[in-house]
Structures are given as structure tokens and as C-alpha cells.
Chains A and B, each alone.
Chain A
Amino acid sequence: MIENTEHIIQQIVSQYGTSKDKAIPVLQAVQKEFNYLPDDVLKKVCDLTGISYSRIIGVSTFYSQFRFIPAGKHLIKVCVGTACHVKGAMQVYDAFSRYLKLNPEHDTDKDGLFTLKQVACLGCCTIAPAVQIDEVTYGKVGQNDIAEILNNFLSKATEKYVEQKSWIRNSKLQGEIRLGLGSCCIASGSEDVREALMDGLKATGIHTQVKQVSCVGMCHQVPLLEVKDKNDSVTFYSKVAPQDVKNILLKHFEPANFVDKLKNNLFQKLDRLYLDNQVSSPDKCYLDVSEKPVQDFMKKQVHIATELKGVLNPIDIDEYKQKGGFEALQKCLDEYSPEEIIEMIKQSGLRGRGGAGFPTGEKWEAVYNRQSNIKYIICNGDEGDPGAFMDRMLLESFPYRIIEGMTIAAYATGATKGYFYIRAEYRLAVKRIREALAECEKHGFIGDNILNSKTSLQIEIFEGAGAFVCGEETALIASMEGKRGMPHMRPPFPAQQGFNGYPTLVNNVETFANISWIIRNGANAFNKIGTSSGKGTKVFALAGKIARGGLIEVPMGITIREIVEEIGGGIQGNKKFKAVQIGGPSGGCIPASLAETPVDYQFLNEIGAMMGSGGLVVLDETDCVIDIAKYFLSFTQNQSCGKCVYCRVGTKHILNILEKISSGKANMDDLKKLAELSFQVKKGSMCGLGKSAPNPVITTLKYFMEEYEAHISGTCPAKKCKELIMYSINEKCIGCTRCAQYCPSGAIEFNPYEKHNIDIEKCIKCDICKQVCPNEAVEKI
């Protein structure tokens, strides 16, 4: 081994320590250095730490983040989460794969430049299909954009990125410009808009403040610019492009000695920068907030966890304080005993937002009642549901609120050590929380003797390593202990024997985000909202075939129809509303006919779905429910920890039968078997993953039986299942040759001005021809 290698490993080990529970962070650091995990490096790690050979292999092969063959220089992650799936993510994946000439055995191109990977939800579902290359996210990726994206990325990667400091001068500030910088926003180009803004301000000499704000929830409108001029009147601009910025600025602000600035060329530079793009008028992006759609999007919402959304600068602690932040904490420490707080939370009726909906107050009480001088508290931000991004947004946008909630919980339960468990893909969330924790520490909101009380709480971040099952609390704890993330039977519950064997409170991000509001406004204000089985609100990630996707917070009991039609503005492109998939892989498919179902724990359970974590993917008539069921089953099947037989093997059989159905090879007996096995897997699995994995199948069987039957007789009504459709060109063809140019498999012969034909032998059913045809001449039959 090269000496240097040994040195690097030594450094990593000295940073994280040698104890075996540090296996995951050590492996993450090692992989970051070496880009994969070579055998000799792993052995060296073991030699230098207390980690055994067996453990390092057991652990590293469990989590999908770790790889054992070298990766390319850049990692392309194609999101195949639910929202992206319904928008054709697999086709995008295949297109990348073709472009880079990859095959199932090789995920890296021959030059070693790019490695292609599928991931479940990048947390930008509203701009699906999403693709992330290293740290750059691309949204609404089409099959034909591959070359362009890779070129754009490579030019970005070589560009030297200079961190732009906001431009400060002593003269009086005019107004304020707010720009969302959540993950969706950044992926839709808000970082570029921010750069253009800074350039524009510099060029024009306009002196105003550019404020980064939290996700405004209107992710379908991003990049969204909110301009508050010196008279405090507010104008919104949606879907802003960098070239729009200059005119927007000039419309609202007076440039300082504008002529001078013009002369010194800076402004020209600005124009040059965007030369290839058309410079547009500000009206193009003008978004009238008094306009009905925007009002509708906002009207039915109630903001508790997302209070002050789009207003707060996520990491400005002073602003958070100014707007009532940490008041609740202060009040708790000064005025309430732990018992009183627990009582208040119980009274509020708050139930866990992580999926199962366990009453939060009772959980706190259980931890409080345990006698132990060490207790832990964990904020579960693993969010593995492949089509949900609420927790990501909350962590990115309201880090202080979550920390405040956690600190109150720690005081109420007696915990003194806390952890944020955050999913590996959520880079920005990790960064924000890290910054926020440092600020809190500085201001005395965490650490020893919080606000001069006797309460102390240290908080650390633990980054997940890619395993959906680690959202399950016992598996989560196992992974924090440096083990394979396999759940165990409860009891013992974490509240009894959790992290390192001590009582541990595990709550979801959103659960914590509700706490300070409840303390400030009182339990009754909270339990007035909602239904008998669900109090308060729920944050949903609304995505799929919806006109206005985004993050919404709605009162419990709101109906699905209200969400889809009123808030979401109905289905995109005049298609018919078919169903919603609620609760992700654990949830179910609710047909349009049940749209009046109120959204709360009980009602959803009754119709076979589940609140789950809050993914809400809307399906239209072009979505095939068997395809959806298959999609979820392949996800859960792939994420099963492999411990118990019903989940490990049972889900595999369910998936096999679904595949048989979607390829038209199944018979009625298979349907019967599918239904039976689904119920058996539900009963016989040990943890929630297996127990809920069949839900998408069970609900689709229940509500869409005729669609299953259609597949058995050989047709896919939604024309989605590849094996059951064929592409063909009809009389509308104008002979433009586009399809022939784009077809990746040469199935269409180049035939200018004549009707084109598809050679079905060669056709790989990639759908490209249909997408590029200007005259809708390509159809699926």
C-alpha cells in the first residue's frame, strides 16, 4: 500500500475515532477520499480501528451509498422516485445509459468520467424528472437533453466558482429582494438567478438587500423572485431566468449614477453573459399574487410547521428570534415543568408525522418515565419515501424551529444528547443544520446550561448511508451504532432501550417543527384544527401530474379533492384525474372516485392507504396502476433488509407476479395468488417496511381490478406497459424526419417528405419518436 494511502486513512481515523460504532462515518470519509472502497483500504481501516473485518463488510455492503468498484470522476444520479417515475425517469435513465454506452455490468463510461446511478427522490419532485450530477441538479430532464446537460455540467465544473459576497455599501438600503434557495429552487436555476442579481446590482449600483429565503412552497413557480421596493410594495416574479433579472431590477429600483455604470462596461458584461438568451421583459415573469391560482394555492393552507415560509432567511438566527423564535423554549424553561409540557403536547393531540402517527405526548412521557441518567433524542430526517421531500424542505428552511422543538423535547424528557439523522442525499439540509447548530451553540440555545437553566443538550449530525429501512426507528438506531440497519422486534421500544441501550426519543422532523407553535399558541389552538383522529396540520409534497406542485401544509381533514383541484389546480394538460398515491411505498392508491375522503389517519387507514410520511403523487389517465404497483414493489423489494422471510422473499414473488401481469403473461390464478400473498406478507413481516409494502398492490387490486383484468387479456389501458404496446406512425406524418434522427436504435428509416415507418423488430420502445414528433403522428397501439 502506498504510504500516502495509509496516511489518509490514519487521518480519517483520528478524526472520527477508533470505536466500532463509527463504522459508517469512517466509511463515508474513506469513500470520499478514494471514490470507492478498495479491499486493502478496508482492511487497513480495520487494522487501525476496533472495527472487525466482518463488521466492515457486513456494514458496507448493507448501505447503497458504498461502492466496491471505482466510480467515474462525476456521479450522475438519475432520480427514479415516484414523481420522477411517473414523468418518465426510467426513459431518462436509459437515455443516459445509451449515451454513455453503459450496460448492466458497467455503470461507468469507458473514460471513467461519469458513473450512472439511480436514486430515489432527490427532493425536487416538482421539477421531475430530476437528475443530479455531483452537486448540480437538473430539473425537467428530457430524453433528448442528455448531451446538453453533460456539456453544461462539464463547462460548469471547469468554471472556477467564486463565492459572491453580498454587496454592501453604506448608503441607505432600498427595499429588499427575496429569492428562494431551497433544493427545488436551486435545481431550477435560482443559483444562476442569484448570480445574475448580484451582477446586476453591482452593475446598476442599486443598493438593496438580496435575501435568501426558505422554500416558499410554490415549487412549481420557481425560481421565484419577490421584490419589495422602497415603498414596501411587493411584486412576485415566477420562473425567472437570469436574463430577466436586469429588467426586473430596473423596473423597481433607481440605479445609482446609472450612466456612469453603463459607461464602465459592467452592464455590457451582463448583457454579454446572457447574449445567447433572449432578454425578456419583466412582465413575462410577473406573477400576480392577487391572481386566483396563487390565492387558491395558498388559501386552504394553514402554516404551523412551515410558519413564515418564504419570509424567513433559513439561517438568520436574529430574524428567527425577532419573529418569535425561541420564545417557546424560553417559556418552557422558565415557566413549565417537564410534566406540564408533556401534558400540553398530549392535549394538543399531536401525533407523530413520521408515518405511524403515534401520539407524541405519550411517547415523551414514556421516555420521561424511564429512570436513567443518560437519555438520547433523535430527530428522524431519513425521509426515504421516494416521492416526498417535506422533511428536506423543513430542515433546509426552518432549521431553528426544529432545533427549538428538539430542545423543548429534550427538556421535557430529560435527554441530554441529541442527533439529527439526515438522509445521505440531503446535502443542503445537512449544511443548513450544521450552520444552525453552530449559531444556536453560540447563542446558548443548545449546549450546556441552555439559557442559563440547568438543562443541557448537545446535538450532532449523523448522515445516513442510503437505506430506506433506516427510517424505521430500531434500524435507524442500529445504523447509528455502526451496524447493519436491520430492525428488531419491539418491544423493547427505543423509549425503553434505544441508542446504546439507553432510553431514546425518536421523532420525525415535522413532529418537532410543530412543537414551538403549540407552546406559543396553546394546545387548544392546535387541537381546534383538524378532525377527531388527526389534529393540526400535515405537510405534503404534492407532485406528479398536477398543475401546481409544491410543498403544502393543510389542516387534517381536508379532502383529497380540495388538495388536487383547489390547491394543486387540477391535472396538467387537460388529462383526466385518475388517482393519488398517498403515503409512498407504504401507502395506497386512492381512486378519483374516493376523492372526497378526508385526509387524516383514520380515514386513510379505512380505505387501505396510509398517511405515511406525506408524499402525495397525483396520477392521470396515462398512468397505469400496475406500473405504479410494480414501481413501488421493486422499490421496497430492493430496500428490504433481508431479515425476515415474508419481506425478503415474499416481496420478490409479488414483484414477479406483477411483472408477469404487466407483460401480459399472467392468468386469473396469478391474480388470486397475488392477492393472497400480499395479505400474507402484510401479516407475516416483522417491521413496518414489509408490513406495508403490499399496500400499493392491495389498494390497486381493490380499486382497479378491471385494469388488472385488462392486462390479463393482453392490453394496458393506459398504454404504459412496454410489453403490451407497440409504436406506430399514422397518416398525420409530414415526413419531417425528426423521429428518424432521434431514434436511438435505428428503427425508423430516414425518408424525407414521406410517411415514416417503425420497424417493430428494432424498436426499443423508448418513446423518443413520440416525444419529438411535431405533428402527433407517432402513436402507441
Chain B
Amino acid sequence: MIRIKINNIFIEVPDGTMLLKAAEQLGIEIPTLCYLKDFIPSSSCMVCVVEDKYSGKFLPACSALAQTGMIIETDNDEVKKLRKNAVELLLSEHVGDCEAPCKRACPAHTNIPAINRFLAKGDFKNAAKILHKTKHGCAECAAPCEKVCRRKNIDAAVSIMQLQEFIFSQKDFKEIPSSSKSQRIAKLKFNSSYGKMRDNEKPEFLKEPENANARTEPKEIQSGFTADEAVAEAKRCLHCDCRKADICKLRLLAEKFEACQRIFELTERNDVSKIIYPENVIYEPQKCIKCGICIQITEKTEEIAFTFIGRGFKVKIGVPFTDKISKALRKTAKECVDSCPTGALAFYKS
């Protein structure tokens, strides 16, 4: 048995126990990001860092083993700063929108891309439900959403307002909320956002929307979109928001630590790219934190597993040989998507 002290409490643990586990036994919670139970810890994110006052070292609790004499502090100021900076460093190379620009611009924070996704599937009812929640009417709004719509960078903004009008006009839409009572519902304040879309990124964004055509113009201007037209127009939406915006561990930690994405700025941000894998998985490398969990999962069962490619700052996760993409993720798509701590691996068309 090994006797150590954590936050001034003595505890005895068997040889080979991780600090994280020892702390857990004392009911002390240590945040983690790249660590996932039952996987080999990758010790990569340093969010779980603690200080050993005995050796003066800072250790990742998810992989450092308890050793006789340790005096661990799990949340002193230096530890907190290291955690926050770790998240900020990760965010500095992170490229993605947690929430779509349109949603952020909307005074009522309407989840526009979600509405668009339902519309695109012809599911008007669910689209209406979302709109209903916001208690906001678009009639008097200056449509800031359309001004910031990323589709504008490619051809023209999605006709968000007209799409909303279309929903309002549906008969199952019970009551048009009054704009005066509009209220912002924002759960998380933290937002990763990456600024301007670059020319070379346009094809990447166009991998998703089914409609690559220019803006749909309603035949009858006065009566607005027909159902078909609405579907077509909704299909132009680029799906800017992150698919894991509410569960992404990185975002939740950033929120918790009040991290700032711009505190460390790279001279050049990475380019956005989107890679479509089988089983409806989309991989956005710029959101990956290189934890290697997907590698560990796929290595076990897949014929073609993920691997780290390259080294250092340029390291990426991917499958070997581009012609093998179609053989990846055959069995483990769900496990990978569920385990990936960020929005890097997600299901698309969900």
C-alpha cells in the first residue's frame, strides 16, 4: 500500500493506483478531457494536472501513479492556471464554430441550423417546435442572422427569414409569439469561432449541404416559400454549428475555466476541412485534440484503424492511405463518436 496526502487528507491506495482514482476515493473531483475510463491514458491535455508539493512537480492525475510521500494539491492557484492555459492552448489551434453565426446573431438566439435541418428533411413539425421555444417573431427583426450567414461567403445567405415565415405560416404552428417578449436562451457563453471563411475552405463547407445552387426564390413573392421551395432552401444551410455543441468536453471546460480563445494566437490559423467517413461519420480535424481515443478504439476491431500521422505541432489523426477511407469505422462508428471528447468526430445527417 502507498500512503499519500491529497488536499491535506491522508489516503492509502494499492501500488499502481492513479492519482485521479485516489482522489476520486476521497470524493475529490479532478477535471479531465483526454482521459476516458478503461483506455490507456494519453496524458495529452493536461487538464487533470495536479501539483505534488513533495517533488515540486506538476503531474497529469489521469496517468501519474501514487507514490509514497506525495503531497498532492488538486486545486491551488497554479494548478488552476495550468488547467486554464492548457484549454486555451488547445483552443488556440482549434478551428470551428460551437454555435452557428446565425444563431449567435439572432436576438432570440434561435437555433437556426437545427430548424434548417428539420426543414431539409421535410419535418416541419419539429422545426416549428424549435422556433416556438424562442418566443420570437421575425417580422420586425432586421435579420442580422442573414448578414452573418456563412453561405454568403459562397453565393448568398440562406433565406433564413423567409424560412421562418414559412414555418409561421404552417397550420400546425399554433401561435405567433410576439416580438416584445423575446428572450435569449443561451446555455453556454463560451463560443469557439474562427472568423472569416477562406476561399480554399469553400469546397469543404459544400461537402455537406445537399443544395449547391444559388438562393431559392419563391415563385409567388407574396405568399412566400412553398413546401418544396422551403426544403430546397433549407438544404443550402452549411451546418456551421458544431454537432456536439452541448456535450463537447472542451467547450464545457472552456466555459468552466472562463477560458479565452484569443489569449494565445497563432500567426496563421489552420484551414477548416471536413472528411466524410462511412457510417455517416464526419471528421473535422481542426476540432481534434489528439487524445488518440479513436485510435485505441479502432485498433481493436477495425480492419483499417485510425493512426497519428506526422509529429509535433503538425500531427493529425487519420486513416492510412486515402483510398482506405471507405474501410474505416465499419464497426466502431458509434463508439468513436460517443467517445470523442470534442466535436471532431460526429454523425452527420443526424
Chain B residue contacts of A650, Cβ below 8 A = 89
Please tell me which stretch of B59-67, B106-114, B132-140, B179-187 contacts chain A, meaning at least 4 of its Cβ atoms lie within 8 angstroms of it: B59-67
Residue ID in chain A nearest B59 by CB atoms: A489
Chain A residue contacts of B313, Cβ below 8 A = 637, 640, 642, 648-649, 651-652
Chain B residue contacts of A648, Cβ below 8 A = 290, 312-313, 315
Residues 292-310 of B at the A interface (beta carbon under 8 Å):
295, 298-299, 304-310
CB within 8 Å for A641 and B267 given contacts A54-B306, A489-B60, A683-B78:
no
Residue ID in chain B nearest A43 by CB atoms: B321
Contact of B305 among A52, A638, A640, A649 (CB under 8 A): A52
Contact between A53 and B85 (Cβ–Cβ < 8 Å)?
Answer: no
Contact between A56 and B290 (Cβ–Cβ < 8 Å)?
Answer: no
Chain A residue contacts of B344, Cβ below 8 A = none
Complex-state Cα separation, A650 to B312, whole angstroms? 11
Residue in B266, B309, B313 with the greatest tally of chain A CB atoms within 10 Å: B313
Residues 610-662 of A at the B interface (beta carbon under 8 Å):
637-646, 648-653, 656, 659
Contact between B78 and A54 (Cβ–Cβ < 8 Å)?
Answer: no
Interchain residue pairs with CB less than 8 A apart (5):
A639-B312, A646-B46, A656-B266, A683-B82, A684-B46
Complex-state Cα separation, A54 to B296, whole angstroms? 12
**Is B100 an interface position by the 8 A CB rule?**
no
Residue in A467, A638, A645, A680 with the greatest tally of chain B CB atoms within 10 Å: A645
Expressed in whole angstroms, the minimum distance between the Cβ of A769 and any Cβ of chain B is 31
Please tell me which stretch of A57-65, A550-558, A698-706 contacts chain B, meaning at least 4 of its Cβ atoms lie within 8 angstroms of it: A57-65
**Is B49 an interface position by the 8 A CB rule?**
yes
**Is B231 an interface position by the 8 A CB rule?**
no
Contact of B89 among A43, A58, A488, A653 (CB under 8 A): A653
Residue ID in chain B nearest A491 by CB atoms: B65
**Considering the complex of A and B, which 3 residue pairs feature the smallest CB-CB distances, nearest first?**
A57-B320, A642-B315, A54-B307
**Is B264 an interface position by the 8 A CB rule?**
yes
Contact between B311 and A642 (Cβ–Cβ < 8 Å)?
Answer: yes
Residue in B58, B304, B320, B321 with the greatest tally of chain A CB atoms within 10 Å: B320
**Is B44 an interface position by the 8 A CB rule?**
yes
Chain B residue contacts of A61, Cβ below 8 A = 308-311
**Is B193 an interface position by the 8 A CB rule?**
no
Expressed in whole angstroms, the minimum distance between the Cβ of A653 and any Cβ of chain B is 5
Residue ID in chain B nearest A646 by CB atoms: B46
**Is B45 an interface position by the 8 A CB rule?**
yes
Chain A residue contacts of B44, Cβ below 8 A = 643-645
Chain A residue contacts of B98, Cβ below 8 A = none
**Is B216 an interface position by the 8 A CB rule?**
no
Residues 31-60 of B at the A interface (beta carbon under 8 Å):
41-46, 49, 58-60
The binding surface of chain A is classed by DSSP as: helix
**Is A686 an interface position by the 8 A CB rule?**
yes
**Chain A, 514-546, contact with B by CB distance < 8 Å: what is the 0/1 string?**
000000000000000000000000000000000
CB within 8 Å for A57 and B321 given contacts A489-B60, A648-B290:
yes
CB within 8 Å for A55 and B43 given contacts A637-B312, A648-B290, A656-B267:
no
Residue ID in chain A nearest B18 by CB atoms: A489
**Is A723 an interface position by the 8 A CB rule?**
no
Chain B residue contacts of A644, Cβ below 8 A = 43-46, 60
**Is B72 an interface position by the 8 A CB rule?**
no
Chain A residue contacts of B315, Cβ below 8 A = 642, 648
**Is A484 an interface position by the 8 A CB rule?**
yes
Residues 25-67 of A at the B interface (beta carbon under 8 Å):
39, 43, 52-58, 61-62
Contact of A684 among B86, B305, B319, B321 (CB under 8 A): B86
CB within 8 Å for A646 and B86 given contacts A53-B324, A62-B310:
yes
Residue ID in chain B nearest A492 by CB atoms: B65
Expressed in whole angstroms, the minimum distance between the Cβ of B12 and any Cβ of chain A is 18
Contact between B312 and A53 (Cβ–Cβ < 8 Å)?
Answer: no
Chain A residue contacts of B320, Cβ below 8 A = 53-54, 56-58
Complex-state Cα separation, A488 to B40, whole angstroms? 11
CB within 8 Å for A684 and B58 given contacts A61-B310, A648-B315, A656-B267:
yes
Chain B residue contacts of A724, Cβ below 8 A = none
**Is A677 an interface position by the 8 A CB rule?**
yes
